[in-house]
Structure 1
Amino acid sequence: MRIYAIGDVHGRFDCLTKMHGLIAAEIARDAPRDWRVIHLGDYVDRGPQSAEVLDLLANARAHDPRMIALMGNHDEGFLDFLADPADASLFIDYGGFDTAASYGLVLDTSDRDALFESHRQLLAAMPESHLLLLRDLQRSVSFGDFFFCHAGVRPGVPLDEQSPHDLIWIRREFLHHPGLFEKVVVHGHTPHHEPEVMPNRVNVDTLAYDSGTLTALVVDGREKRFLVARA
């Protein structure tokens, strides 16, 4: 099975479209027996086209179950806002204005009434497929010797017992852990100017929303390489 694991998108529809094109071309050329494309979360906020990213992913998953989408902390923050606008700090403080703008709305947080009206308008503007996608996001998936999640895992806890919170939020304890895990953990969440390859983990978050560079790890048997889509 060939696996493509794509880092944080953050509203960069242009980068994700180009990445999907590169992957489709490789699959058509090489005709692997089986494949998966794993998106590691954080589809919304900060970049300009969150709505378009969610639309692409919803359609891709509907047409092929080999397209897998995992949850990131920003995706959960968006869901939290949609469920209760009073619980809005992550969404508002870290890119929610950009996400709302991608639906053609100006997020107004000047007072409680304005916030709740913005919430109503955003729910009305969102296609149901976007909301269903967000609610259906997995926290992790595993294939062979690799474990895929958004942020990382807590050392000392078996992979199948990781907390949902750690899988999309953990940083320090995971990033600085010197030992091996049960499997190599492939993750995003912590941006880096280039992919990080460590003995126990691979980080493919290359700050796409700012750098214009979206990175994917490709695992094909013994071959491991990176695929890069630049805007």
Structure 2
Amino acid sequence: MADGVSYNEASTPDGMRLYAVGDIHGRHDLLAAMHARLMEEILHDRPADWRIVYLGDYVDRGVNSRGVIEYLANLRERDPRVIALAGNHDLGFLDFLSNPDPFGLFACNGGFETALSYGVEIDLTSRAAMMPGHAALVQSVPQHHKAFLATLPYSASFGDFFFCHAGIRPGIALDSQSADDLIWIRREFHAFDGLHPKLVVHGHTPVPRPELCRNRVNLDTGAWHSGRLTALRLEGREKTLIEIAC
């Protein structure tokens, strides 16, 4: 793809500052500190226009998924320049509420902690054991949390940047990417070393430090266990990493 966009060349629209923030996984403390940091910069520098793009996976594993959803839902409602994208864990949580599965994504990957943040201790050892806790969880999740999860977009694009949770399938037009790939893909996307039509900024795959590749940027630094939440500030061709650490 000779006409693709490389990391060094990728630029924001004129006058627009962009931020992208990696996977949060229930770390409300890091999210609140990061958002405060970004808004402080915006209010100080007063760019002509701006967006903050959260890259998905707000729930599971960490201790306060409820707080994360409440915080982001309120931010998005107050200012449409705050964009929250869908992650596989977010949709897995929503799916569990309507289709409980003791062996699915939610149950096997940190859903216990998510339920606990809503005041529900759920037994995930079998379907029969799970059902009372599932019923309690369905009652405990506010409707506006469910509405938030159900309306998360799968991608966003500004200038030379394409934002999504997991990545894209190489060779497929950006506007033709499947929802499944945008929240789940790994191997085919990571292994591709050619350029994409835009620089892809994503999370989904935890790494010890941000990956700044020629054709993609991975901002998932495993906040729930590492205590480090990573963001990328984009303005013109300038790109600056920001980290909040606990």
Identity over aligned pairs, percent: 55
Shift of 1:38: 0.4
Aligned partners of 2:204 and 2:101: how far apart in 1?
25
The residue number in structure 1 matching 2:5 is: none
* Aligned with residue 121 of structure 2, among 106, 131, 137: 106
Calculate the TM-score normalised by the size of structure 2. 0.92
Let me know the Cα RMSD of the aligned residues: 1.0
Indicate conservation of the 8 Å contact 2:102/2:124, yes or no.
no
Q: Which runs of 5+ in 1 are unaligned?
A: none
Corresponding residue to 1:85 among 100, 116, 125: 100
Q: Relative CO higher for 1 or 2, CA cutoff 8 Å, sep ≥ 6?
A: 2
Give the alignment of 1:17-96 within 5 angstroms. Answer: 17-86=32-101, 89-96=104-111
Distance across 1 between alignment mates of 2:180 and 2:102: 17
Aligned partners of 2:126 and 2:237: how far apart in 1? 56
**Which runs of 5 or more residues in structure 2 are unaligned?**
1-15
Q: Pick the aligned partner of 2:230 from 197, 200, 215.
A: 215
Could you give the per-residue CA deviations for residues 123-166 of structure 1, whole angstroms, max 9, x where no partner exists?
11111111110000000010000000000000111111001000
Could you tell me how far apart the structure 2 residues matched to 1:229 and 1:86 are? 35
What whole-Å deviation, never above 9, does each CA across 1:87-130 have from its counterpart, x for those lacking one? 75110100000101111111112443332221111111111111
SS of equivalent to 2:57 = coil
2-structure distance, mates of 1:35, 1:93? 37
1:160 aligns with 2:209: no
Q: How many residues align?
A: 231
Aligned residue number for residue 176 of structure 1: 191
- The alignment status of 1:199 with 2:232, answered yes or no, reads no
1:190 aligns with 2:213: no
Does the aligned pair in 1 maintain the 2:206–2:221 contact within 8 Å? Answer: yes
Q: Any runs of at least 4 consecutive aligned residues in structure 1 with deviations exceeding 3 A, and if so which?
A: none
